Amino acid sequence: MSKSSLIALVTGANKGIGFEIARQLGKQGITVLIGARDERRGMEAELRLAGEGVDARFVHLDVTDQQSVEDAAVAIRGQFGRLDILVNNAGILVDEKPPSDYDIRSMVAVYETNVFGVFRTTKAMVPLLLASEQGRIVNMSSSLGSLTLNSDPNFELASFLMIGYNSSKAAVNALTVFYANDLRESAIKVNAADPGYCATALNAFTGMRTPEEGARTAVRLATLPADGPTGGFFSDAGSLPW
């Protein structure tokens, strides 16, 4: 299939890295569905991208709401009959502290979006991805979720003891592996992407990389050829350890 006929859904695409993923996919001629829970912000993102010549369409999608996710899947099936690319980008960070000081309610909130939201959305969209000739799933993760890296006291981000966020990304990595194994006999490829430490609202714009840079690996994984990898964890520099 040519890229101009592909349909991509990006969750949390109204700002930050998600918006840049949508922009970069759209610049390749891919129709981009802007998944956002806030209609005003979703429509603003659609209009901004449309002004750049991107075929962008807002889709109301709150990854923490089962009915919202199911409604989005029904709408996509009704309009397109399939989905070619799913980028699970929506994520939050809540009142992060070291484990000894962290509140269970904050962890529950983080997992509801970062983990259960990924599972909920993926499960709803897999039937649509199976209808594609080349389904791709990209889960936005982080090196902060790498157990191998965080076990190394010399890891440059070892001091970022954000137990809710970090462990949620480790869980996203696990979902990536299990979905890749489950779908290995299909054409769907499932991979996790580390965007690096990007300046976004999530971290009060303290990151050293731009959202444009952070989007690159996800876009590459979303457009992998048929002989590309599945069940992997990647950054711009290559493969990362779990």
**pTM confidence score:** 0.94
3-state DSSP percent of the chain in helix, strand and coil, to 5: 45, 15, 40
Residues labelled catalytic? 165
Helix (H, G, I), strand (E, B) or coil at 7: strand
Q: Is the per-residue pLDDT at 38 higher than 90? A: yes
User: What is the full DSSP assignment across 149-172?
Assistant: HHT-TT-TTTT---HHHHHHHHHH
Residue 209's pLDDT is: 72
- Contact by Cβ (8 Å): 33, 16: no
pLDDT in tens, 77-89: 999 999 999 999 9
* pLDDT band at 203; cut points 50, 70, 90: low
Q: What is the pLDDT of residue 98?
A: 83
- Structure confidence at residue 201 as a pLDDT band (50, 70, 90): low
Question: Can you tell me the mean pLDDT for 156-169?
Answer: 88
Give 3 or 139, the one with higher predicted confidence: 139
Domain that holds residue 14: 3-239
Number of domains in the chain: 1
- List, in order, residues 6 or more apart from 229 with CB less than 8 Å away: 189, 191
| CA end-to-end span of the chain | 32
CATH number at residue 27: 3.40.50.720
Decide: helix, strand or coil at residue 88: strand
- pLDDT at 3 exceeding the cut of 70: no
What contacts 211, CB < 8 A, 6 or more positions away? 16, 17, 19, 20, 198, 199, 200
Tell me the average pLDDT of the chain: 93
Burial readout 162-192 (b: 16 or more C-beta within 10 A, e: otherwise): bbbbbbbbbbbbebbbebbeebeeeebbbbb
What confidence category does residue 213 fall into, taking pLDDT thresholds of 50, 70 and 90? confident
- What average pLDDT does the segment 38-44 reach? 97
